[in-house]
Amino acid sequence: MHDGTADEDGAAERRSHAARVLRGIRLRVLHLVLFWSLVSGGLAWLSTLALPFSSRLALQGLIWLAGCALTLLAGRHMVRDARKRLQADEIRHENEVEFRTTLNATTVGLFRLRNLVFDFVNATLAEMMGYSVEEFLTLAPMDVVIPEQREMVRQNSTRRAEGEPGYPYQLTFLRKDGSTFIGQVWSKRILYRGKPCTVGSIVDISARIEAEQEMRRMVNALAASNLELERFAYVASHDLQEPLRAITSFSQLLERRLEGRLDPEAADYLRFITAGGKRMHALVNDLLTFSRVAHKGSPFQLVQCDDSVAMALQALEDSIHDSHAVIRVGHLPMVLADGMQIEQLFQHLIGNAIKFGQPGKVPHIRIGAEREGGAYHFRIEDDGIGIPPAYQTEIFSVFRRLHKDPAYPGTGVGLAICKRVVERHQGRIWVTSMPNQGSCFHFTLPAPDGALPPC
């Protein structure tokens, strides 16, 4: 498929170049005519001089020789100049052919408009629309868009003509066979050969739009599925509380009532039932807390983190007393957050720092924060047993416990709750640690003067 308008423009350019070459040759020929007129005049003037015949003949010969030499040099220069111009014309023509080939090979549709009519399109655009280039050059932009958008095209063309800079926008284009596709259009007003025109490009983005829509559908479906699972976890956890409480309570009553009347093996079985019920109750309670982070959270308000840490330390008073933990708290900022969840966050992280201290050593814990851009970066450092690098991401998953030792009780939900709380506040949480060298838990929360997170 060829570009008829581009060929016509190239032919016109070649004709113009040939005309310039001919004008140059005519000018040089005129110069030679004038030169020989002067030579003839000089020869006629010599005949009037009172000189010996031999001298006059010698002068005439010199003048003729000089004229012939100059004529020969001028002729050679004319031939050389014409050859150079023709070579330049061939090179220019080859470049134009290569340029037009490149334009037609590109995956982007290109066009030029004059007076709201296409006067240049590349083969890609014609093929995109289902026309030949010759057919396309008889059309106007309003002919290739759906009727509902023709007024938009007219307004955009008017704005370009008034000098407004171009910007990308989307149109629904109408192919020759009646089918449609969504294209992204960019256009700009320029001067071409001294006359105003509009140049632009069209890219078929139908596949991209369809992929984005499919991705949105999948994301919405996934969000709905997650929401349903979270509701199920909440309901299941809530409804399991009562039967577990009953199992634990009645096991303890039975243990007290039959104390001393059971053989050792039966007493152990009963203790296993009671301990299992308690662990299951704690597990369900933590799962209920985990599911409540997103669905039962309070609206955000300004929270002084110093107060949140103080409340967390009060809740951990027994653990602090038993471990003799030394806790240093720096000045903490005010954040826009759910106050109960921030207190819960500090309680879990400080509680872990106490629980995972090194045996026989008093835990030392430091809590601080600093401003980093639009967020506050909090750090809770300890000198405990540490976490191997391979597990520093896994520990934030639900039910992921690294220690099965009874010395480190827990359900494996606490850090998952911390992660969920931080993410609800549009922050992130991570840990840096080495075994037997302590751990530092980091998390970020948006500063109050930054963008407000959703409630």
pLDDT beyond 50 at 1: no
Per-residue pLDDT, 439: 93
Q: Which residue has the higher pLDDT, 62 or 136?
A: 136
Per-residue pLDDT tens for 252-309? 888 788 777 778 888 887 888 877 777 776 666 666 666 666 666 678 889 999 999 9
Is 348 within 8 Å of 417 (Cβ atoms)?
yes
CA atoms within 13 A on the CB side of 2: 8
**Residue 355: both structure tokens together:** 């629980």
446 CB-contact burial (10 Å; exposed 0-12 / middle 13-18 / buried 19+): buried
Q: What is the sign of the dihedral through the CA atoms of 386, 391, 396 and 398?
A: negative
Per-residue pLDDT tens for 362-396? 999 999 999 998 899 999 999 998 888 887 888 88
Is 63 within 8 Å of 43 (Cβ atoms)?
yes
**Residue 189: both structure tokens together:** 């007003």
Per-residue pLDDT, 305: 95
pTM metric for this prediction: 0.48
Torsion of Cα atoms, 257 then 262 then 265 then 267, to 10°: 10
| Range with the poorest average pLDDT among 29-33, 175-179, 431-435, 446-450 | 29-33
316 CB-contact burial (10 Å; exposed 0-12 / middle 13-18 / buried 19+): buried
CA distances to 52, 53, 444 from 57, rounded to whole Å, are: 9, 6, 109
Determine the Cα–Cα distance for residues 64 and 77; give it in Å rounded to an integer: 20
| Kind and range of the H or E run holding 7 | helix 4-46
pLDDT beyond 60 at 450: no
Give residue 224's pLDDT band: very low, low, confident or very high (50, 70, 90). confident
pLDDT beyond 80 at 211: yes
